[in-house]
Amino acid sequence: MTMRNNEQDSKSNSSVRNIRNSKESSKLHEHSNKDLAKKNAKSKSSKNTSKNTNTRTNKTTSTRANTRTNKITSTATSKRANTRFATKSRSNTNAGAKNRNQNRKQHKKHPIILWMIILFTLFIAIGLLLFAYLYYTTEIPQPYKIAMADKTKVYYSDGKTEIGSFAEQNREIINCSILPKYVSNAIVASENRSFYRDNGIDFKGIGRALIHNVTKRKRWGGSTITQQYAERYYLGETKTYIGKLHEAILALKISQTQDKSTVLCNYMNTIYLGRGAYGIQAASKAYFGVDAKDLTLAQSALLAGIIPAPSSWDPAVGNEEARLRFNRVLKIMEKDGYITPKEREKTKFPKTLNQKSQNIYSGPNGYILHMVREELTKSKAFSKEDLDTGGYRIITTIDKNKQNLMFKVASPSQTMRKILPQGIQVGSISINPKNGSIISIYAGDDYVKKPLNNVTQALYEPGSTMKPFALMGAIQAGMNLNTLFNGDSPIKFDGIKDPVKNFSNISYGNIDMYQATAKSVNTPYMALQQKLGRRVIAQTAVAAGLSPKRVTGENPFTVLGNDNVHVSEIAQAYSTFANKGNRPDLHIVSRVKNSENRDVYSTPITLKQVFSPNNAALASKAMLGTVDHGTATEVKKLGRPMAGKSGTANDQTAVSFIGFAPNVVTVFALWYPDCNGNPQVIPTFRGGFGLSGSSLPVHLFTLYMRNALKDVPVEDFPDAKDNGKIGGPDGTWGLGSQITESADDNTNSSDSKDNKGDKDNKGDSGTKDSKDTKDNN
């Protein structure tokens, strides 16, 4: 009995322990297991009652059966309860874990969002503070220098006709009050419809641009007209966000200190519109060939439409896009009330000019522009930057009509194209000897293709045009020009290896220096050089205007012109003869005006008396014979007093003629360099012109002067008195001392004797071998 009871107790205790475990588990999961705990409690009570009854009434067998039954029942019940509990417990455990994870995630999310809000608020606050600080500390700076740059224009002597311009940027600043209203309206419609209402910046536009730039990673503008103006006029190009912030702040400042009309006008004067044109005025000329004040509505709409991408939307490049932009501008103008529907309907897409070369130095005028620029910078009155950005008006000394005439006569591509051989170079200039002003010039056909200036930079041999400097040296030394010299050919001279010959090897007998000059006879001049000395001749030439670097007197044929010179130098030197011995400094600039049309510079007229007026007049008197009965008789067709000298270089590598009156000096020179610039024999001229300075150069001179002198008054040469001694200062020059009374007779006999020579010269066609002479006429 005791054993059964112990066994029951043991079984009962096992059941109790299971129930207790269930209760303990239920406590951990009280919210989900209350029902299960109640059921287990009832089961326990029922089991205990059954056990007590069986113990008291049943016998040993019955008790065992009951005990086994209870054991099985209790164990099964306990197992089912535990199974249900375990399932629910696992379910509840998973649910609880899920809830805890969700709670943890929510707890984690909340601090992140909170920090984001805090950081965003701080960012906005700092940004506002920074913006406020920058706003109050930012001052409107001086305008960006290049934005203020106005191109300098160069004019002919009339001060009205433009030759060209200098510019770092092709810009012409104008007063916008002269523009039609639709010009500015078209730009506002295209670029910033809210311009007249906004405060200089468009926050919506900036926001859209920022989003687009971040998401698309492509730059997209959100700038107002005021912002673009701030960038171009004050800052220069801005690309960074910091730069854009500065731009926006400056735009706000500008909107509070400058009225809308000022902002819009400055914007129109600085905006780039393609074809190298900055500003509405330069663009009007580049696209339509008109001033901005004469733009039509259609032209204005086209220019306004292409502002965002002028190079790509230029009608010459992107015609379709240009038309779309054109129509867009007109549509907005109509919508905003700037034009009527009828005006929009009538406005058709305009025609534009063909794009031209942007090189300001192209063509023959490029040489003039380069000379102007060089002259002004050398004066120290202007820097290169001044000329590029200062907006000056430079009035040159160049006469437009005579310049056109000079180009027509001198250019191998013009009148003489059928006569001049290919590759021939021509340099010509006409100047006023009284002040050194350049009237006209031919330096080449195109500066861009050949920048070497044929007047101021190229070199050629002047030939016999050097003889008057020996003549002047002799006059100054005290020799009378009636002194007779041996004019035969050939003649051997001391220190000269080969005998010297005259042109065509003609012998003239005894002739004076008047005839030797008129006929350009070599042998008397070589004899004169022997007495005078080469260095004296060179010094006299340098005093007149030639360069001491090239004319040194070291060449044994100095008097025959074997030293190289510039056309401009020889023109200046002969101006000294024409201007009574006063050497003028050549110049091409007359005066300079600023953008307000006030004179700020005038070229100083510099004259230096290097020869006495009488000596200069005496030398000029000798050169009158060249035209009257010498090597340039064609010039007599001009019907006025003209002096001059022809010249042909050794071996006929260059030919030239210099003619002058007291109020004009003109030079024509031709030479034939090889591909390396070295002199070579000029090919035969076509049209019957011989290879000498008395042929084609004289003809070109006459062609030009015939029309160029129409408005130039006739001016006689001054009288001259020859105070020199026959035979020179010591009586040994030429043929020595001669009886003064017979000088006139000798001269007359020379005139008579020279008739044959004159015929030969007029008929010269250059058929003689070039080796026969050191100089031809």
* % of the chain surpassing 90 pLDDT: 56
Query: Minimum mean pLDDT among 97-106, 331-340, 404-413: which range?
Result: 97-106
Is it the case that residue 143 has pLDDT exceeding 60?
Answer: no
User: Any residues with CB less than 8 A from the CB of 283 and at least 6 apart, and which?
Assistant: 273, 274, 275, 277, 292, 303
The pLDDT tens digits for 82-137 are 555 445 555 555 555 555 555 555 555 567 888 888 887 887 777 667 666 555 55
Residue 239 amino acid letter: K
| pLDDT score for 117 | 85
With beta carbons less than 8 A apart as the criterion, state whether 672 and 681 touch.
yes
Task: Give the residue with greater pLDDT, 213 vs 328.
Answer: 328
657 contacts 670 by C-beta, under 8 angstroms: no
Q: Which pLDDT score, from 0 to 100, does residue 230 have?
A: 76
The DSSP-derived string for 328-348 is HHHHHHHHTTSS-HHHHHH--
CA–CA distance, 11 with 78 (Å, rounded to integer): 12
Q: At residue 33, does pLDDT exceed 50?
A: no
**Residue 738 pLDDT:** 63
Q: What is the mean pLDDT of residues 737-749?
A: 47
How far apart CA 562 and CA 773 sit, in angstroms, is 13
All residues at 6 or more sequence positions from 154 whose CB lies less than 8 Å from its CB, including other chains: 162, 163, 164, 165, 166, 368, 369, 372, 394, 396
What is the Cα–Cα distance from 775 to 504, expressed in whole angstroms?
A: 10
Is residue 45 scored above 60 in pLDDT?
no
- The more confidently predicted of residues 130 and 531 is 531
| Strands 393-396 vs 152-155: parallel, antiparallel or unpaired | parallel
Is pLDDT above 90 for 289? yes
Question: To 10 degrees, what angle do helices 60-137 and 241-257 make?
Answer: 50
* Overall average pLDDT of the 530-554 stretch: 97
**Residue that has been written with the tokens 């050794």 in this structure:** 650
Residue 377 in this model has a pLDDT that exceeds 80? yes
Quickly state the pLDDT bin for 356 (edges 50, 70, 90). Answer: confident
Categorize the per-residue pLDDT at 478 as very low, low, confident or very high, splitting at 50, 70 and 90.
very high
- Between residues 413 and 405, the one the model is more confident about: 405
Q: How confident is the model at residue 201 (pLDDT cuts 50, 70, 90)?
A: confident
Tokens 């290879």: give the residue.
691
Look at residue 718 and tell me whether its pLDDT is greater than 70. yes
> Bigger pLDDT: 80 or 11?
80
- Judge contact between 287 and 272, C-beta under 8 A: no
pLDDT at 58: 42
**Cα 279 to Cα 292: distance, rounded to the nearest angstrom:** 10
DSSP state of 460: B
The secondary structure element, H or E, covering residue 33 is helix 30-57
171 contacts 149 by C-beta, under 8 angstroms: yes
The whole-number pLDDT of residue 675 equals 85
Task: Taking residues 733-742, report their average pLDDT.
Answer: 67
Within its chain, how far is the Cα of 770 from the centroid? 48
Query: Locate tokens 């406020």: which residue?
Result: 132
* pLDDT confidence band for 142 (50 / 70 / 90): low
- The model's pLDDT over 627-674, given as tens digits with 9 standing for 90+, comes to 999 999 999 999 999 999 999 998 889 999 999 999 999 999 999 998
For residue 575, the model assigns a pLDDT of 99
In the chain the domains, ranked by start, together with CATH numbers, are 2-123 (no CATH), 168-346 (1.10.3810.10), 459-661+734-772 (3.40.710.10)
- Estimate the share of the chain in helix, then strand, then coil, as percent rounded to the nearest 5: 55, 10, 35
Give the residue-averaged pLDDT of 400-427.
92
**Mean pLDDT value of segment 464-482:** 98
Is 763 a residue whose pLDDT tops 60? no
DSSP 670: E
Angle in degrees, 0-180, between the axes of helices 319-335 and 297-305, rounded to the nearest 10: 110
Average pLDDT value for residue range 581-600 = 96
Length of the chain: 777
Question: Which residue has better confidence, 609 or 773?
Answer: 609
Query: Can you tell me whether residue 381 is helix, strand or coil?
Result: coil
Q: Name every residue whose Cβ is closer than 8 Å to that of residue 267 and which is 6 or more positions away in sequence.
A: 187, 225, 228, 229, 232, 233
- Backbone phi, then psi, for 648, in 5-degree steps? -130, 125
Angle formed at CA 599 by CA 594 and CA 601, multiple of 5 degrees: 95
Query: What does pTM read for this prediction?
Result: 0.73
Strand (E) or helix (H) holding 437: strand 437-442
Report strand pairing: 510-512 vs 484-486: antiparallel
Per-residue model confidence (pLDDT) at position 571: 99
pLDDT over threshold 70, residue 776: no
Q: What is the mean pLDDT of residues 496-515?
A: 95
**Per-residue pLDDT reduced to its tens digit, 155-171:** 999 999 999 999 878 88
Determine if residue 166 is left, alpha or beta; phi over 0 gives left, psi from -120 to 50 gives alpha, anything else beta: beta
pLDDT surpasses 60 at 79: no
Confidence of residue 379 (pLDDT cuts 50, 70, 90): very high
Q: What is the pLDDT confidence band of residue 623, given thresholds at 50, 70 and 90? A: very high
Pick the closest to residue 553 from 544, 545, 542 (CA basis): 542
Model confidence band, residue 212 (pLDDT cutoffs 50, 70, 90)? low
Q: Which of 97-111, 308-322, 531-545 is most confident?
A: 531-545
Helix (H, G, I), strand (E, B) or coil at 468: helix
Give Cα separations from 147 to 169, 522, 637 (angstroms): 9, 63, 56
pLDDT of res. 768:
34
| Strands (E) located in 530-597 | 582-584, 589-593
Which residues, at least 6 apart from 667, have a Cβ–Cβ distance to it below 8 Å?
427, 428, 429, 430, 567, 570, 571, 574, 656, 657, 658
Residue 224: predicted pLDDT: 86
Label residues 96-110 b or e (16+ Cβ within 10 Å = b). Answer: eeeeeeeeeeeeeee
| Structural tokens at position 48 | 């205990």
Residues paired with residue 601 on neighbouring β-strands, in sequence order: 592
- Is the pLDDT at 534 greater than 90? The verdict is yes
Integer Cα distance of 327 and 348 in angstroms: 9
Query: Given this model, what pLDDT does residue 594 score?
Result: 93
| pLDDT surpassing 70 at residue 22 | no
The span from the CA of 230 to the CA of 246, in Å, is 9
- State the average pLDDT for the chain: 81
**Number of other residues whose CB lies within 10 A of the CB of residue 42:** 9
Question: Over 90: is that where the pLDDT of 265 sits?
Answer: yes
Cβ distance 236 to 246 under 8 Å? no
Residue range 184-203: mean pLDDT, rounded: 86
Could you tell me which residue, 147 or 40, shows the higher pLDDT? Answer: 147
pLDDT at 690: 66
